[in-house]
Structure 1
Amino acid sequence: MMNQVHVQELECLLVLAEELHFGRTAARLGCSQSRVSQLIAALERRVGVRLVERTSRRVALSRFGAQFADEVRPAYDALATTLARARERAASGTLSRVRVGFHASVYEELTEAFRRLRGGDDVAMELSEIPWGSPFTAVRDGRLDAVVVEAPVHEPELTIGFRFPPEDRLLAVAAAHPLADAGRVDAEELAGLDVLHPSGDAPDYWTAAQAPRATPAGVPVRSTTGVSSVHEGLARVAGGEYVMLVCRPLSERALRGDVRYLPLDGLGEPSRMVLVWRTDRTNRQLTALAGLLHETFHRTTARPEGHPPRP
């Protein structure tokens, strides 16, 4: 892997190949002639052969040096071009690729916003599923640029760029469960059930929001088992031993013959997904994505929700 010294050595050789003069090479590189000599000598030691032949009258590349310069120039030019593009993107606050994580399923409106952003901004868009119980890890450590996760989000270093419309919370039960034929379920009935919870490194407040630890009346809710994904949870629900809270969009995208989704009354706040990114990595594409989501939901729903990123 090339470090900065290697790049300087290669640049020095390529400039010297053009100028064939140590003084002019030093002037172009903005350094002393002795520094040019040091860089060429260091490169020759790395390669193991003389690259430059120098006399009191002339400077020339050796046969191997000329061949080496010809072979290395395309790679050096490509690296210089990549670095220049990176500087331009950094200066303008843009990305060449936007990576967004999600839980279990993707809103059609999100994929539409991706298509519009990709088409208008020449940017590659990538979607990847993240573990249910680790909503913030990948965006914090930089593996993802943003995530679409369920609220609440109280992390001080994260920005909520867009709030999706609120959705009903449903209770997933096995088709053979005694509650399966009930029209609705009251939140107090959770006290007699074993509710699956997300398993991961999520903050306690977030985990508790996905699997309440008590009913609205204060009766403890049992939750003996954690799952790493919503789909794993639905498989366990189908076995009949557990139940799980889900949002309505998931129930519409994860239809199963062995699972029933029941409206849940009395739990309080509805389910709500949010688009989140690191505040210190806010950039033009992420804010554009939030704006496109806002436009898309205004056009496709009667309940537009969303706001510009908080500072």
Structure 2
Amino acid sequence: MTGGGGSLVELRDIEIFLTLAEELHFGRTAERLHVSQARVSQSIRQQERRIGGALFERTSRSVRLTPLGERLRDRLAAGYGEIMAGIAEATAAARGQVGTLTVGTFDTHHQEITAVLDLFRRRHPHCELRMREILPADPFGALRAGRVDVGLVWLPVHEPDLVVGPVLYTEELVLAVAADHRLAGRDRVEMEELGDHPVVGLEGPVPDYVWAAHTPAVTPAGRPIRRGAAVTTLEEAFTAIGAGGVVSPIGSYAAASRLRRDIVFVPIAGGPALRYAPVWRSAGETALVRAFVQAAADAV
């Protein structure tokens, strides 16, 4: 704003005026803004001279706005808020904290990283966070195509173009069998017993070593585990299992979200546990990706 002499009032002076209008105390205003009380008094006197009228009534016991001060406060408050919001948004953009970050997870696994997502949103409120589903049959395709910025996938991941972050959570495996399968009534099954039954195969570009962490190629004793029907999605796997032709280790989180009359989930004694970590393209690493990984590490 300009006064009678045409000189500009600094943004800091507007901040001092608005803070004093709220606090109505010179000492508290100075303390809040980390300036001296003399600086607050000087600023207000300068603004009153420029405007040509008193903005505050001062006594030894109190400070209050004059009608002129009240009108000025009402006009400046909204504009000052917009200015500061604009500066904050521009600063965030310069630091790479504005934009869209797309995170991919298997099935319902976004529920397992709620704390991570909440922390990231609190730290970066100007960033839009989008969630997409990743298919186990193609865990890296969406990353490499740029449809996903960060994927939460199970380990190990040994891909030269991908970077692996910290482990965020683990998931036990259970054995999914048809409701009338001879294993359905068991309290538990041993991993060795997978050598007696064909298991679901996965049709897609998933590397063999990645799938082996979920469904090994051999039993602990070294017997081959036969592959049966090949599927591309979890629903296809459940359909094949329900028909009775195959069994399959299934993540316990997926099992908990699928209550079906045609399938029973049996605990696996000594079965593998899946470890999940964020993965991203080394060539696609951005400030937002780094911020997400940091939030993941801090939340854990």
Q: TM-score, normalised by structure 2?
A: 0.64
* CA–CA distance in structure 2, aligned partners of residues 95 and 198 of structure 1: 38
Q: Which amino acid aligns with 2:180?
A: A
Percentage of pairs with the same residue: 32
**SS of residue in 1 equivalent to 2:205:** coil
Query: Is structure 2 residue 244 aligned with structure 1 residue 235?
Result: no
Deviation at 1:182, TM superposition (A): 0.5
Query: What does residue 156 of structure 1 align with?
Result: 160
* CA–CA distance in structure 2, aligned partners of residues 266 and 112 of structure 1: 29
Deviations 1:251-290 (CA, angstroms, capped at 9, x unpaired): 22223232221121234x4212221111222223223223
Query: Is structure 2 residue 177 aligned with structure 1 residue 166?
Result: no
The residue correspondences of 1:85-100 to structure 2 (distance < 5 A) are 92-94=95-97, 96-100=99-103
**SS of residue in 2 equivalent to 1:149:** strand
Q: Which runs of 5+ in 2 are unaligned?
A: 1-88
Query: What does residue 71 of structure 1 align with?
Result: none
Alignment root-mean-square deviation, CA: 2.3
The residue correspondences of 1:1-311 to structure 2 (distance < 5 A) are 92-94=95-97, 96-121=99-124, 122-267=126-271, 269-297=272-300
Deviations 1:81-118 (CA, angstroms, capped at 9, x unpaired): xxxx99x95x6344511111222222424244324423
Q: State how many pairs are aligned.
A: 210
**SS of residue in 2 equivalent to 1:251:** helix
Rg (Cα) greater in structure:
2
Moved over 4 A (4+): none
* CA–CA distance in structure 1, aligned partners of residues 196 and 141 of structure 2: 33
Query: Contact (CA 8 Å) 1:196, 1:225: kept in 2 or not?
Result: yes
Residues 214-223 or 238-247, more deviating: 238-247
Which structure features the higher share of strand residues?
A: 2
Q: Which amino acid aligns with 2:107?
A: A
Q: Which amino acid aligns with 1:168?
A: E
Query: Contact (CA 8 Å) 1:132, 1:199: kept in 2 or not?
Result: no
Q: Which amino acid aligns with 2:193?
A: E
